[in-house]
């Protein structure tokens, strides 16, 4: 699997996720401003991938400036490019921790973070696969997922879709149902592209059809990624995740979150403290640049919602599952 984000000959190279599925192309980003623009317009997205972007962007700043204060200013702008995904600021801080050693050390730390992300997401998704197989008697399994939590959302493997790769390899997967994920269609554009590329049987469905699919017995388990996880196990993920968790609870289905431990924010006691990014109204009021609402229509367009821990079967990181209500698996002790 080609990396979603990498360092190539002195610049950050990303797969341009805005172009998919119509065109596969890469972008070469040579400045922090170019990287910030790519992050804001979602050319690179997904919490783990944003962690890599934060680290590599800090390396760009370190090579661009002799003044440490200027590097820190660029790093601060980069960390604030999107507010909800904790990995972005985490990646910046990790690379910045070696600034005193010079730009080569900053880059070395960023590259180590990339390698680590691939390894930890493989481990987290393998642990989640084991847990799902324990919870689901039926074989082969029918999974439902939301947004995109595959290799495009990470450095090179995936979280929720990492489970799909493991199950497919073991012969335990029948198909995947991928929510289209309104309004930017990350499921229809990106998840379906990854599944097709990997030869995984799948169907795309409207977000509003997910509960109906559960009621018809078409789903054995819901598996999603995360952008930020609070200390009590509440999870911020793409808007619509909360509704899926409610529907899964109604139908007695496991609801599993897969993420690297870097997505856990132990400083936040609960999901109520998570800052939710609100996106531009035009994402709702237009489609492919064509207005679809009356002029002057007001919009509520949060990019994420928060799923309470009591609706989650388990949050699984590379360290294993955190089960809400289980005192031996509570955050933040779980991360030590």
Binding-site annotation, residues for substrate: 45-47, 82, 186, 237-238
Sign of the CA dihedral with 279 first, then 225, 33, and 55 last? positive
Q: Is 221:164 a contact under the CB 8 Å cutoff?
A: no
What are 278's strand-pairing partners? 302
CA distances from 326 to 122, 133, 225, 272 (A): 25, 20, 21, 21
The CA distance from 146 to 208, in Å, is 12
| Feature table: binding site | 45-47, 82, 186, 237-238
The residue written with tokens 């904790």 in the block is: 86
Q: Is 148:188 a contact under the CB 8 Å cutoff?
A: no
The residue written with tokens 């200027």 in the block is: 70
Which one from 117, 220, 227, 265 is the annotated catalytic residue? Answer: 227
Structure tokens at 18: 């805005």
Task: Tell me if the bond preceding 332 is cis, omega within 30° of 0.
Answer: yes
Active site annotation includes 16: no
Among residues 173, 233, 246, 252, which one has the least CA distance to residue 207? 246
Q: Is 264:238 a contact under the CB 8 Å cutoff?
A: no
Give the residue numbers annotated as catalytic, written as ranges.
Answer: 227
């Amino acid at each position: 699997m080609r990396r979603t984000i990498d360092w190539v000959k002195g610049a950050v190279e990303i797969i341009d996720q805005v172009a998919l599925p119509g065109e596969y192309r890469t972008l070469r980003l040579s400045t922090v401003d170019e990287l910030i623009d790519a992050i804001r317009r979602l050319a690179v997205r997904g919490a783990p991938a944003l962690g890599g972007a934060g680290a590599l962007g800090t390396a760009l700043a370190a090579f661009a400036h002799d003044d440490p204060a200027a590097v820190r200013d660029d790093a601060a702008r980069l960390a604030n490019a999107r507010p909800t995904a904790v990995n972005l600021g985490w990646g910046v801080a990790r690379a910045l921790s070696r600034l005193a050693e010079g730009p080569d050390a900053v880059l070395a730390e960023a590259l180590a973070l990339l390698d680590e992300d691939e390894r930890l997401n493989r481990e987290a998704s393998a642990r989640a696969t084991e847990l799902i197989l324990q919870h689901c008697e039926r074989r082969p399994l029918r999974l439902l997922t939301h947004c995109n939590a595959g290799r495009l959302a990470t450095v090179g493997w995936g979280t929720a879709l990492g489970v799909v790769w493991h199950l497919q390899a073991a012969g335990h997967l029948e198909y995947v149902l991928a929510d289209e994920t309104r309004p930017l269609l990350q499921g229809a554009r990106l998840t379906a592209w990854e599944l097709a590329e990997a030869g995984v049987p799948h169907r795309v469905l409207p977000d509003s059809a997910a509960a109906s699919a559960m009621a018809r017995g078409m789903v054995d388990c819901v598996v999603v990624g995360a952008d930020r996880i609070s200390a009590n196990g509440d999870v911020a993920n793409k808007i619509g995740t909360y509704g899926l968790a409610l529907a899964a609870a109604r139908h007695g289905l496991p609801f599993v979150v897969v993420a690297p431990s870097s997505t856990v924010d132990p400083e936040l006691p609960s999901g109520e403290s998570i800052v939710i990014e609100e996106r531009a109204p035009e994402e709702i009021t237009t489609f492919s640049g064509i207005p679809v609402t009356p002029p002057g229509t007001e919009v509520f367009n949060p990019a994420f919602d928060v799923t309470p821990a009591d609706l989650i079967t388990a949050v699984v990181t590379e360290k294993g599952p955190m089960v809400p209500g289980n005192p031996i698996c509570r955050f933040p002790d779980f991360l030590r």
